[in-house]
């Protein structure tokens, strides 16, 4: 088009058609200005999102603030913004458009920006479910004032919201509020593997994992760690994400969320009670290929780390629960309590629980399947289905063989 106008302009000059030449020159200058305007329209335009909080629970509401700034003298007659909001987060009181994807919906806004002007939009968000939600990307479109040329810029996702699992009431799960895992029935004093108070000579009854190799090298004789006695307990929460015994049977998403909610509830209660709590899952968080393996701890950051890990979990298992139960023994000392939260009572899982009991671990099985779990000698079982009735809550816990 521009080339054709330039040819007409040359011909108008040759044939001395001044009016036509002036008209074509005006059009050419306008097109040139429009092209330059379009090229510089989104230069030095900043786009930023901020959330009123980066951590939330299902049902919480928070504020999303979007700020767009034009940091140059060139004004923008019209700017259109298409910002992606992850599904699972609802925009309250503002229209959204369907994006064609089940992963995101779109907020659409249109405005103008004068030189060095800033516009701010605020949206109220409602958290629908657990997860790690990444906001963006956003596509911003603008151009020249005549609407002849358009340009677009994509602003990457720059903020992530973690929605923790919903915490459940222990009584709704059929568990006693004060001592849901029956820990007070254990010995009054147990040794705390997280607190070493000294060393002593090694005896054949000491496990090899207690050997203090630095002290052994210094003294020339085998030395073993001495742990501080405590009434607190060491808990390993083992979450089995499988909802069916065989992979080809698929996944029950609601049951997975129930399992994760039970795990979060036990972690929250146990750490607040002063116990050292670890987390082991036969699945991996989003954007991570490694199994969840958090050794027991009672530091103030332990609960936050467990909750963040549970928030990021996918619904897929990558390892059989029986194999995971065998792997975690290297992180634990005999006498620790292993709590399995699962919904599949396969024979390998039952055999693994029985083996752990024989190795000296205290075993608690929180079973979330549709039927009560099979009895295992020495394993304390609790049946905590998704919807528990008053009749089911009566006498649902038992200790076979005890």
Q: How confident is the model at residue 14 (pLDDT cuts 50, 70, 90)?
A: confident
pLDDT of 27-57, one tens digit each? 656 666 667 777 778 889 999 999 999 999 9
Q: How confident is the model at residue 135 (pLDDT cuts 50, 70, 90)?
A: very high
pLDDT at 334: 79
Q: Where are the beta strands (DSSP E) in 202-301?
A: 223-230, 234-239, 276-281, 283-285, 292-297
Quick one: CA dihedral 318, 321, 323, 327, positive or negative?
positive
Indicate the SS3 state at residue 133. Answer: strand
Above 80 in pLDDT, residue 287?
Answer: no
pLDDT at 394: 37
Q: How confident is the model at residue 157 (pLDDT cuts 50, 70, 90)?
A: confident
Range of lowest pLDDT (88-102, 138-152, 189-203):
189-203
The C-alpha atoms of residue 278 and residue 179 are separated, in whole angstroms, by 18
The C-alpha atoms of residue 260 and residue 232 are separated, in whole angstroms, by 24
Q: Angle CA(41)–CA(47)–CA(50) in degrees, nearest 5?
A: 170
210-to-113, 144, 183, 356 alpha-carbon distances in Å:
68, 74, 24, 19
pLDDT at 78: 87
220-to-8, 215, 227, 233 alpha-carbon distances in Å:
100, 8, 21, 33
The C-alpha atoms of residue 103 and residue 265 are separated, in whole angstroms, by 28
Above 90 in pLDDT, residue 255?
Answer: yes
The C-alpha atoms of residue 186 and residue 230 are separated, in whole angstroms, by 12
Q: Please report how many Cα atoms fall inside a 13 Å half-sphere around the Cα of residue 154, on the Cβ side.
A: 6
pLDDT at 344: 94
Please count the other Cβ atoms lying within 10 Å of the Cβ belonging to residue 353. Answer: 27
Structure tokens at 200: 């002593």
The C-alpha atoms of residue 363 and residue 379 are separated, in whole angstroms, by 5
177-to-13, 169, 234, 274 alpha-carbon distances in Å:
94, 8, 19, 15
The C-alpha atoms of residue 1 and residue 268 are separated, in whole angstroms, by 68
Indicate the SS3 state at residue 48. Answer: strand
The C-alpha atoms of residue 46 and residue 95 are separated, in whole angstroms, by 24
- Residue 110, judged by CB atoms within 10 A of its CB (0-12, 13-18, 19+), counts as exposed
pLDDT at 401: 40
Length of the chain (residues)? 402
Report the DSSP pairing between strands 276-281 and 234-239: parallel
The C-alpha atoms of residue 269 and residue 178 are separated, in whole angstroms, by 9
Whether the CB-CB separation of 38 and 144 falls below 8 Å is answered with: yes
CA nearest to 240, candidates 174, 320, 295, 122: 320
Cα 48 off chain centre by:
22
pLDDT at 41: 82
pLDDT at 365: 94
Whether the CB-CB separation of 222 and 216 falls below 8 Å is answered with: yes
pLDDT at 42: 84
Whether the CB-CB separation of 340 and 238 falls below 8 Å is answered with: yes
Above 80 in pLDDT, residue 391?
Answer: no
Does pTM surpass 0.95?
Answer: no
The C-alpha atoms of residue 37 and residue 291 are separated, in whole angstroms, by 52
């Amino acid at each position: 088009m521009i080339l054709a106008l330039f040819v007409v302009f040359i011909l108008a000059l040759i044939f001395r058609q001044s009016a036509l030449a002036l008209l074509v020159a005006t059009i050419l200058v306008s097109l040139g200005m429009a092209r330059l305007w379009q090229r510089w329209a989104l230069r030095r335009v900043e786009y930023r999102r901020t959330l009123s909080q980066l951590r939330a629970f299902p049902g919480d509401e928070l504020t999303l603030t979007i700020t767009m700034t034009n940091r140059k003298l060139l004004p923008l007659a019209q700017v259109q913004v298409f910002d992606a909001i992850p599904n699972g987060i609802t925009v309250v009181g503002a229209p959204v458009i369907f994006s064609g994807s089940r992963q995101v919906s779109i907020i659409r806004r249109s405005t103008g920006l004068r030189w060095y002007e800033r516009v701010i939009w605020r949206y109220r968000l409602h958290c629908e479910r657990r997860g790690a939600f990444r906001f963006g990307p956003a596509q911003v479109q603008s151009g020249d004032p005549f609407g002849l040329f358009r340009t677009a810029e994509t602003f990457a996702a720059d903020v992530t919201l973690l929605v923790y699992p919903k915490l459940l009431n222990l009584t709704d799960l059929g568990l006693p509020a004060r001592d849901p895992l029956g820990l007070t029935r254990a010995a009054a004093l147990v040794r705390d593997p997280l607190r070493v108070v000294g060393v002593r000579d090694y005896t054949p009854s000491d496990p090899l994992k207690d050997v203090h190799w630095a002290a052994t090298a210094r003294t020339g004789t085998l030395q073993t760690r001495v742990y501080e006695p405590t009434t607190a307990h060491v808990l390993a929460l083992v979450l089995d994400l499988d909802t069916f015994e065989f992979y080809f049977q698929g996944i029950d998403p609601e049951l997975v969320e129930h399992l994760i909610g039970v795990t979060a509830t036990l972690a929250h209660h146990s750490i607040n009670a002063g116990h050292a709590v670890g987390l082991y899952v036969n699945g991996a968080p989003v954007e991570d290929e490694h199994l969840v393996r958090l050794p027991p701890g009672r530091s103030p950051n332990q609960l936050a780390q467990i909750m963040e890990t549970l928030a990021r979990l996918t619904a897929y298992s990558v390892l059989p629960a029986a194999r995971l139960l065998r792997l975690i023994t290297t992180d634990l000392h005999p006498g620790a309590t292993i709590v399995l939260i699962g919904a599949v009572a396969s024979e390998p899982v039952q055999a693994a629980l029985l083996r752990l009991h024989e190795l000296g671990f205290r075993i608690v099985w929180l079973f979330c399947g549709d039927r009560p779990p099979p009895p295992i000698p020495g394993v304390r079982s609790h049946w905590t289905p998704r919807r528990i009735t008053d009749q089911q809550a009566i006498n649902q816990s038992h200790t076979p063989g005890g």
